[in-house]
Structure 1
């Protein structure tokens, strides 16, 4: 039998270590991050309700998970430029857990008993617009809430887990998309999940054909409303077109973000690194 020297063992361990992406080693707790709405964080009963949901749904040990607080100021930075809404510190309930140990694809689990407006498909659509295609996201609230502030928390969690900041222009585009869909659902009888599928199809077409012309995007939306048999007002179609145009306009920032995340992951020819950056509008 061939003898294996100590130096060969050490060399093998070094090579294995080089193949593991930085920040994404096995059993790395930094891959799981919780963001609590500040109202929830400051109320023991609220936090206990949220924690119970995360433990039961994500099967995590909260003592080993990093957490952050999402403040009203952080939500208002984005919301004020999109909806004009201004939240105060006792209105930020939505909380989110991001687990990058599940990184074969992107999955979102929403507590439908508490999150009343934003659906799992809406979160999926907005995150894919940012360029995020992996991880398992869990969203809940101690009381009924729209879920709007949770998107800020989800993106913050990805920033903590990867140590790469998402550009503000990209955050605004993603939030604009989710707010536009939420507004349509709230003011009409359009099914939220069907609307999300329509938006995904439109974005995919626009991305593949590199379309930036407003009128052309409006026509594409109109065609898909016929395919899906969805009745949208002209104002709804106009707003959807503008939100999709905004995503197209920040493509350069999205590409830069993906490049930075790629460097953090190590680019060691691993399937996980390739999967995480499989691109926009999958």
Structure 2
């Protein structure tokens, strides 16, 4: 009888060690730009970047398509830009298995305007502080539309919707920085650092007054010799003020996803070492 029991337990262990093969990883999701998804060559280029950079099997990754309509819902209210279904290239892969710190890896050969630090700053404005995001495009693109896909990916993985006010603030931050980089020629990394530092000071001092935020930006610009216009400073102040004003919604969202992000690297309670220990205890007791 004991031999039969041991044989059954051995079969259970072997079964647990055999990979399921076709199961998708719920902590991974790709968002393809509508244009990229519709073109097999474009999609292959994007997939090759994700495979090489993230070292994942894309057969085990869920995917979604980000349409021009979704992007326009964001961009039209911020920049007035309107995109067609043939202009949405930027694509993103979210990996929440790697969630100790927020990281964004950008394909600099294809994404021309938005930097990794810009994405990180905007995502932190939305209360997102974990995960590794990869951003690329099959052709050169600014990368502005990718943020909509990235936030959509977080919603897909966590099953928690980001408040619209928070999305708007984060997207406006991206679009404002992109516009300044394109029009003023300021270094993207310097601008991203400016925004990050000013947001930190505004948050620490709980500043909500517009003129005070303008003064903080002016001081930073002068001290760091950054060449942007007064209009740029006003736009940045409006953006940072909006981020500050939605902190209540940001904190609510962070509370909703905190448990998931803290547990997403766990194996759902299954421990192979624990299982072997249980088998040994069982056999010793029998």
Q: TM-score range by the shorter chain?
A: 0.7 to 0.9
The answer (yes or no) to whether the contact 2:24–2:62 under 8 Å persists in 1 is: no
Shift in Å at residue 264 of structure 1?
A: 4.2
Distance in 1, matches of 2:87 and 2:121, equals 25
Counterpart check, 1:115 vs 2:111: yes
Distance 1:233 1:65 in 2: 44
- Matched ranges for 1:20-99 at <5 A: 29-99=25-95
**5+ long unaligned stretches in structure 2:** 1-22, 267-286
1:134 counterpart = 2:118? no
Q: Partners in 2 of 1:247 and 1:109 — Cα distance?
A: 24
Q: 8 Å contact 2:24–2:61 — kept in the other structure?
A: no
The reply on whether 1:163 has 2:127 as its aligned counterpart is no
1:165-199 alpha-carbon deviations (Å, 9 max, x no partner): 00111111001011111111101121000110011
Equivalent in the alignment of 2:234? 238
* Alpha-carbon shift at residue 258 of structure 1 (Å): 1.2
In 1, Cα distance between equivalents of 2:42 and 2:260: 35
The TM-score normalised by the length of structure 1 is 0.83
Structure 2 match to 1:210: 206
How far apart are 1:138 and its partner, in Å? 0.4
* Shift in alpha-carbon separation, 1:195–1:55, aligned structure 2, 3 A: same
Secondary structure in 1 aligned to 2:190? helix
- Tell whether the 8 Å contact from 2:31 to 2:150 is kept in structure 1 after alignment: yes
Q: Which residue of 2 aligns with 1:258?
A: 254
Q: What TM-score, normalized by structure 2, do the two folds share?
A: 0.82
CA distance in 2, matches of 1:267, 1:192: 35
Whether 1:185 aligns to 2:181 is: yes
Matched residue SS, 1:52: helix
Residues 260, 134 of structure 1: alpha-carbon distance in 2 compared, 3 angstrom cutoff: same
Unaligned runs of 5+ residues in structure 1 are: 1-26, 271-282
Query: Corresponding residue for 1:23?
Result: none
Q: Which residue of 2 aligns with 1:279?
A: none
How many residues in Structure 1 have an aligned counterpart in Structure 2?
243
Could you report, residue by residue, the CA deviation over 1:27-78 in whole angstroms, capped at 9, with x for unpaired residues? Answer: 9811111000011111000000000000000000000011100011110111
The answer on whether the counterparts of 2:130 and 2:261 sit within 8 Å (CA) in structure 1 is no
With a CA cutoff of 8 Å and minimum separation of 6, indicate the structure with the bigger relative contact order.
Answer: 1
Aligned-pair CA distance for 1:115: 0.7
When the two chains are superposed, the root-mean-square deviation of aligned CA atoms in Å is 1.6
- Structure with max Cα Rg: 2
Pick closer, same or farther for the CA change 1:120–1:266 going to 2, 3 Å: closer
